[in-house]
Amino acid sequence: MITELARLEVRDPAGVFAARQLARGLAASLALDRQDQIRVATALSEISRSAVTAGRSAVIAFGVDDRDLLVTVTLDGEPPAEGVAAASRLMDQVAADGNLIRMAKRRPPDVRPDMKLVNEQLAAVLPPSALEELQRQNQDLISALEDLKQQKEQLVLLNSELQETNRGVMALYSELSNELEQTNRGVVALYAELDETSERLRAASESKDRFWTNVSHELRTPLNSIIGLTRLLAEPGPDGRLDPERLYQVELIRNSGSTLLALVNDLLDVAKAESGRLHVDPAQVDLPALFGRLRGLAHPMAEGKRVAVTVSDDGAPDTILTDEVLLTSILRNLLSNGIKYTDGGEVRLSARVAGPRVEISVADTGIGIPAGLHAHVFEEFYQVPGIRRGGTGLGLPYARRLARILGGDLQLTSEPGAGTTVVLSLPNQPPALGTVVIADDDAAFRQVLKGLLTGMADRLLEAEDGGQALAVLAENPVDLVLADLRMPGLDGAALLARLPASVPAIIITGADTPPPPRAAALLKKDELTRERLEFTIRGIIRSSS
Ligand code: ADP
């Protein structure tokens, strides 16, 4: 249903302005937005203007139906094409039918026009001089609206492009996130595998340890029982002694048992040294006392042989920084060989200071070793062909391994028929260091380290953290860095990672942790002694020089 709101006749420029005013007022009172108000006003203004310019008059009727603001323009002649064209850009619908132009503009629903306002607007009159101005304004407005429309179209285009781009980005993102997810899954699986492998390795190393502990126990126990029982059998009992034949057999069993026990012990020693499970406990060892104990050990070995065993501490230093158990083991082995391979003459252990080292020699006047075989006797299980005196061929290689663990070595000289000399040389002087950097945030502990290092280093430089240590290193040639693992700022591990490869570093830590990758050694604060520190530094300097 159409309701008419207002009607207006336009004959002159004043009418044109009135039509414009009225159209705008009606559009406003029907709650069209500002842009649409201008569109409607401009459409009416253009149609009226072009009609008036063409010398025609027009009757304009404004009305509403349920949906639209409706405008009917009845002209007394052909509708002006220019005006219709302008209007059709501005209204939703424009239809020219003979002298009639019908136009419609969508309006917000449920808004009743304010009739008082409409009437007031109808009464308004425009001064005629404003016609040209109005025309210009209308043109401006049309082109402004046209621009707006173009901009809007561009915006729509841009928007759709943006949407397209967004879709592309979304696709890319989902592809990437798929890839990331897959990579993550791979990494997780890899870590699981690594965990599994390290767990297996740990279990393997544990079971190896368990194996050696069990084997040591299982092999030694029955052998010790056999040897003990044969000793009992050989002793006179309540029924007197065994008859000589039986006694002889029991002695044979006992000898075989002892040989077997020696073999087992050798094997276990070598296995232990090989697996790195040897515990090294460096301390100042009293050499004369150690030599005294060796003397006690050696004499029974030579029992029944025409061999004089001499252990002399003339020329030996009073103490040497080393591991006493390992040193004893080496020398016991050398003495045992000397006695075993000497039928008559002397086996002599002596020591001397040779520059920065101590040399302990075991010289015998025994059968000697052919020249080509001097290197071979240090190979595991090697025995000089044609010579059978018991043993396993493990003594010398084991002794050399221990010597190297202690920072020393074994050298052998020998001449068949004249005898053999094996020299153990061990480091004897504190390492001589130029400059050492101590990096620890704990001033008291730095003090402790300074104390421990006196006599080893010419110059001690302190740093409170990794950063300071690097600054010190940038300005001074440094021979060694001692660094705490936990420091504020740059910690020990980070410091090591930035350290020049030529500078060795020892990590000193209170924590129970494996050494970081670049550390030459790790020492625990609560186990730190001057001996341990010196021994460790000696090892590092030897391996880096
Ligand atoms: P073994 O248990 O056989 O003594 P070692 O590893 O101690 O094993 O020595 C290897 C071999 O070197 C010996 O079997 C022996 O032939 C030779 N050998 C070692 N020490 C001497 C020595 N002092 N005099 C002569 N030969 C020696």
Gyration radius (Cα) of the chain, Å: 55
Taking alpha carbons only, the member of 538, 437, 543 closest to residue 484 is 437
* Best of 369, 374, 398 for a ligand 1 pocket test (most atoms within 8 Å of beta carbon): 369
- Residue 126: pLDDT band by 50, 70, 90 thresholds? very low
Q: Check if 395 has its Cβ closer than 6 Å to any atom of ligand 1.
A: yes
- Identify the band that residue 128 occupies on the pLDDT scale cut at 50, 70 and 90: very low
- Is this structure's pTM higher than 0.85? no
Number of H helices, E strands in the chain: 13, 17
pLDDT digits (tens, 9 = 90+) for 271-328: 777 766 677 889 999 999 999 999 999 999 999 999 999 999 999 999 999 999 999 9
CA of 261 to the centre of ligand 1 (A): 18
CA 407 to ligand 1 center in whole angstroms:
23
What pLDDT was estimated at residue 125?
Answer: 41
Ligand 1 mutation target, pool 335, 347, 388, 396, most atoms within 8 A of CB: 396
**Quick check: CB of 438 below 6 Å from ligand 1?**
no
Does the beta carbon of 338 lie inside 6 Å of ligand 1? yes
Cβ atoms within 10 Å, residue 4? 11
Does residue 13's CB lie within 6 angstroms of at least one atom of ligand 1? Answer: no
- 447 against 128, higher pLDDT: 447
pLDDT for residue 197 is more than 60: yes
Residue 112 has pLDDT above 90, yes or no: no
Closest residue CA from atom 11 of ligand 1: 383
Judged against a pLDDT cut of 70, whether residue 132 lies above it is answered with no
* In contact, 459 and 434? CB cutoff 8 Å: yes
**pLDDT tens digit sequence for 49-88:** 888 888 899 999 999 888 999 999 999 988 888 888 888 8
pLDDT above 50: residue 129: no
- Other CB atoms within a 10 A radius of the CB of residue 454 amount to 10
Nearest CA to ligand 1 atom 19: 337
> Residue 307: CB within 6 Å of ligand 1?
no
* Interval between CA 319 and ligand 1 midpoint (Å): 29
Q: Are 134 and 16 in contact (CB under 8 A)?
A: yes
CA 438 to chain centre: 26
338 Cα nearest atom in ligand 1: 23
CB 480 within 8 A of CB 438: no
> Which atom of ligand 1 lies nearest, measured to the CA of 266?
2
User: Which ligand 1 atom sits nearest the alpha carbon of residue 391?
Assistant: 2
d(CA 88, CA 66): 21
| pLDDT tens-digit readout, 347-395 | 999 999 998 899 999 999 999 999 999 999 999 889 999 888 877 788 9
Q: Dmax over Cα atoms in the chain, in whole Å? A: 165
User: How far does the centroid of ligand 1 lie from the alpha carbon of residue 347, in Å?
Assistant: 14
CA of 393 to the centre of ligand 1 (A): 7
> Best of 341, 348, 379 to mutate for ligand 1, by most ligand atoms within 8 A of CB?
341
Say if ligand 1 is within 6 A of residue 387 CB.
yes
pLDDT per residue over 33-53, tens digit each? 888 888 888 888 888 888 888
Distance CA 475, CA 394 (A): 51
Is the CB of 48 within 6 Å of ligand 1?
no
Give the lowest-confidence range in 9-23, 210-224, 245-259, 475-489: 210-224
Lowest mean pLDDT among 43-52, 83-92, 171-180, 426-435: 171-180
% residues pLDDT > 70 (the chain): 94
In this predicted model, which residue has the larger pLDDT, 417 or 24? 417
Q: Is 399 in the pocket of ligand 1 (CB under 6 A)?
A: no
| Residue 431 CA: distances (Å) to CA of 184, 265, 455, 504 | 50, 35, 9, 14
Ligand 1 atom nearest to CA at 393: 8
pLDDT of residue 136: 62
Q: Whose CA is nearest to atom 21 of ligand 1?
A: 337
Give the Å distance between the CA of 362 and the centre of ligand 1: 13
Task: State if residue 366 touches ligand 1 by the CB under 6 angstroms criterion.
Answer: yes
Most confident of 19-33, 62-76, 155-169: 62-76
Instruction: Give residue 310 CA to ligand 1 midpoint distance, Å.
Output: 20
Q: Is 383 in the pocket of ligand 1 (CB under 6 A)?
A: yes
Beta bridge partners of 258: none
The per-residue pLDDT of the chain, averaged, comes to 86
Tell me the per-residue pLDDT of 444-492, one tens digit each, with 9 for 90 and over.
Answer: 999 999 999 988 899 999 999 999 999 999 998 999 999 998 888 888 8
Among 272, 250, 262, smallest CA distance to 224 is for 262
Over 70: is that where the pLDDT of 501 sits?
yes
Nearest-atom number in ligand 1 for the CA of 367 is 25
Q: Whose CA is nearest to atom 7 of ligand 1?
A: 395
Higher-scoring residue by pLDDT: 238, 440: 440
Look at residue 200 and tell me whether its pLDDT is greater than 80. Answer: yes
pLDDT at 433 over 80: yes
Among protein residues, the one with the nearest Cα to ligand 1's atom 23 is 338
**From the CB of 40, is ligand 1 less than 6 Å away?**
no
Q: Give the pLDDT of residue 131.
A: 55
Helix, strand, or coil (residue 489) = coil
